[in-house]
Structure formats: C-alpha cells, structure tokens
Amino acid sequence: MPEAPPDTRPPVVTPSRVVAGLCLLVPFVALLWVNSYARLTPAFIGIPFFYWYQMAWVPVTAALTYVAYVLVRREERARKAGETR
C-alpha cells in the first residue's frame, strides 16, 4: 500500500494556536521564576508558601494543558473538514 504524501504546506499561526501556546507557556514561566515564590509567607493551613504555590500549579497546569489540547484538536478537525469539501 503506498504511503500518504507528507503534508508540504507551511505551518499556519492561528489565534487558537497562539492561545494554546500561551496556555502551555504560563505554568512553565510561573514555576521557573523561583524568586517570585521563594518565601515562607503567606502560609496556608500551616504549609509554607513555597510548597503550596507549587502544588497549586498542578491542577492549574492540568487544566491549561487540557484547554490547549481542546483548542488544537478543534482546529485540526475544522481543517480536515475543510479539506474534504
């Protein structure tokens, strides 16, 4: 069976891809900028800020990654639907 030809079109920057990229970039920058959270106060239920700030980013990062995934999948589906017409 012959292989499908590779997609030779140049990549397109769309608003949804920009938003998806920002969703992935925000947690990366927030957690690499250690000076912004390298302190003990304010404590939350006895946990120093340094620890609970990082743990708070776990569900936030998961949600932002999901948003980026949905945006990219929606765009891919719309592009494929446009190709078949």
Whether residue 43 lies inside any domain: the answer is yes
Whether residue 11 lies inside any domain: the answer is no
Which residues constitute the domain of residue 37?
Answer: 16-84
Kindly report the pTM of this predicted structure.
0.77
Whether residue 54 lies inside any domain: the answer is yes
The domain tally of the chain equals: 1
Who contacts 75 (Cβ-Cβ below 8 Å, separation ≥6)? Answer: 14, 16, 17
Whether residue 22 lies inside any domain: the answer is yes
pLDDT digits (tens, 9 = 90+) for 40-52: 889 889 999 899 9
pLDDT digits (tens, 9 = 90+) for 23-38: 999 999 999 998 888 8
Whether residue 38 lies inside any domain: the answer is yes
pLDDT of 1 reads 61
* CA–CA distance, 33 with 11 (Å, rounded to integer): 31
